[in-house]
Amino acid sequence: MSAEATNPGNPGAAGRKRGRRRLELRGLRRIGRAALLGPAPRDGLPHAMEHVAKVHRGHHPDADLDILARAYLLAESSHRGQLRKSGEPYITHPLAVTLILAELGAETTTLTASLLHDTVEDTEVTLDQVRELFGAEVCYLVDGVTKLEKVDYGAAAEPETFRKMLVATGNDVRVMSIKLADRLHNMRTLGVMRPEKQARIAKVTRDVLIPLAERLGVQALKAELEDLVFAILHPEEYATTRALVMEYTARPDPLTALARRVRTVLDEAGIDAEVLVRPRHFVSVHRVRLARRELTGADLGRLLVLVAEDADCYAVLGELHTCFTPVVSEFKDFIAAPKFNLYQSLHTAVTGPSGEIAETLIRTHQMHRVAEAGVIALGNPYAPTDGADAPEGERADPTRPGWLSRLLEWQRTTPDPDTFWTSLRDDLAQDREITVFCADAPSDGSPPVGGGAIGLPAGASCVDAAYERHGEVAHCCIGARVNGRLATLSTVLHDGDSLQLLMAPDSAAGPSPEWLDHARTPAARLAIARWLAGPQEPGARPASAGEGPVTEPPADRRAAGHDRCGADPVAPASVLVVADLPGAAVRLAGCCTPVPPDTVTGFAVRGGTVTVHRALCPAVARMAATGRQQVGVRWRGAGQGGHGCRVTLLAEAFSRPHLLADLTEAIASQGAAVVSAAVEPPHEQRVRHTYTLHLPNAAGLPSLMRAMRQVPGVFDVLRAGRARQAAALRP
């Protein structure tokens, strides 16, 4: 099950009491008691839903609560008998997730889906039943957050689940809103788990979920997730920071006195404004302490000024800079130039009468709602508007920013789960975006034509801009002009730069390996790696390095929209395999990486996909034992191994210097390309190297394994499936 047990002693609890929108603890206790009482309705609304309904009506007075009541009754009856590790009824988890979203102002459809978000994954309820009872929109949201089963996907289950959620988010951002609230409640209640599992979940939260919360602008969830991760992964720093905050709490707060002075100044100027002291969360305090080495009372928070109109923001700014001494270097205007995650605000800093420096945020009430809740504050961005004339079945999504479009594009061409997972973390680690104004520079020397703004992560180079603008046509790029001056493709771009890309007239031109050193975006790195790995078969969509030629999935599986609920986003099928299931997409299993002429078998999994395993793979017995439908599969062309393929090999060796270099050289001598490599820590002078390799011809696998075995110190080279079986037999 997806939810974890409740932990009343969670160390992040104290941090959640400071200065941000949070779940009311009394509300949690209330819905917990109501869940124990059962679903008996009172005035048409179940007891457990009363607090959720009250909060929801505070944001949406005309909300239809009937659908929420029906969703709760289905969730409660489906999860009945299931308990969390703390012994609480499982229904308390979807209730808590729904209350988190209700506090942030989510609309009714999102709350309905959040109540049902674990039913398809953990109970006998099907997507068809959800669609029939609650409609295609709710069905799509529930399907988007439903995990792929580990028995089907093995070690690839987690990255493929996130791939599925991201694709669904590209069609409806509310999918990720539910996932973030789900992860927040699970992080709040993680204390009874084993420390190693807490750390694993916290690391994924840090690397993937927190950056996604930042990019979607959901600062309220991001701040609390950061504090919870901080407490688990860095307990000593967390304890030090918490002690500092508690120490300053007992002292007079200089920001409170300064806030009173600001209110007086604005009242005298006739500006209607609300002035608040906004405490920092623990991670923010920790960062300030690292940057300034020494904290003052004013560093524990910021002033927040809320007004009615955009023009009032600038009026407040003028009064503050007139009546107080401003710190000019701290001024930023995110109203005229909003951040890529919808954030708008004026930032400044002023000096108080005692010399304290107070960072100040100035924004409208609507800007504040969006700053806290991000895309959740926008309600349903797909709701029809009066006079809208959009084509049937299409939705214009105003919340789909450039970073999401880029991410969806490069993941489409990255079927390998390991490469996708690594690239996703790298992409999300780039937490700032720049805008570059790009125009095409014709090769004949005539003036630039076309143009337009493109978004790139901070630190991106001309190489990244070329692939963002032109896709794989960028292979022909030979140079650039940045702000009118000739520049190399390695030149790092800055916000507001103008760029002209110079393209070679010869389409046979291509990138050099050095381009990989200058590329920061996954889309550019993957495209360059594909080109360097060799040409693709005619008519095949370019595949990522490490994958054979691939074909597009059927058109009905590529379509997006409400009519598609239930269709899982899957990696494209290899053209090497034929399955005895008409219309099914085919996926080579990552756990055993079958290649021709291996004996293979297939299993039908969720979403109409057939996963292909080697017959000796341990997963075959597990899937057969769970009653999975076995499907006949065979290699196209009788499995003669005449196509490129991906394979995972494990080299068992005695630890010695230069072993990695010698193995890599042996692999290169056989014409294979390394997609990824991992080295386990030595144990009793033995070490294991794991390589995921791309072979231009599967028939070359035996000679490759022989070459690796001949490397001094290597005593065995095994295929991935066999290696797992061998490991199980070791003492």
Q: Where are the beta strands (DSSP E) in 18-102?
A: 41-42, 45-46
Pairing of β 585-588 and β 609-614: parallel
- Give 690-724 as a 3 state SS string: EEEEEECCHHHHHHHHHHHHCCCCEEEEEEHHHHH
Question: Which residues neighbour 142 within 8 Å (Cβ) at sequence distance 6 or greater?
Answer: 113, 116, 117, 119, 120, 127, 130, 565
**Are the CB atoms for 635 and 664 separated by under 8 Å?**
no
Looking at 4, 107, 118, 122, which residue is catalytic? 122
**Are the CB atoms for 144 and 211 separated by under 8 Å?**
no
Among candidate residues 598, 592, 593, 590, the one with its CA nearest the CA of residue 633: 598
Round to whole Å and give the CA distance between 238 and 283. Answer: 8
Round to whole Å and give the CA distance between 549 and 299. Answer: 56
Residue 258 CA: distances (Å) to CA of 323, 341, 355, 357, 545: 12, 30, 11, 10, 58
Pairing of β 301-307 and β 357-364: parallel
Query: Is 122 among the residues known to form the active site?
Result: yes
User: Which residues, in sequence order, are bridge partners of residue 45?
Assistant: 42
- Number of CB atoms found within 10 A of residue 692's CB: 23
Round to whole Å and give the CA distance between 671 and 678. Answer: 20
Q: What is the DSSP code (8-state) at residue 83?
A: B
Query: Is 121 among the residues known to form the active site?
Result: yes
Looking at 121, 333, 397, 440, which residue is catalytic? 121
What's at 327, amino acid-wise? V
- DSSP string across 88-143: -BTTHHHHHHHHHHHHTT--HHHHHHHHTTTHHHHSS--HHHHHHHH-HHHHHHHH
**Are the CB atoms for 298 and 356 separated by under 8 Å?**
yes
Phi-psi region of 4 (alpha: psi -120 to 50; beta: other; left: phi over 0): beta
Q: What share of the chain is helix, strand, coil (3-state, %, to 5)?
A: 45, 20, 35
Pairing of β 301-307 and β 274-279: antiparallel
Q: Counting beta carbons within 10 angstroms of the beta carbon of residue 653, is it exposed (0 to 12), middle (13 to 18) or buried (19 or more)?
A: buried
**Are the CB atoms for 564 and 139 separated by under 8 Å?**
no
Helix or strand holding residue 426 (H, E): helix 417-428
Active site residues: 121-122
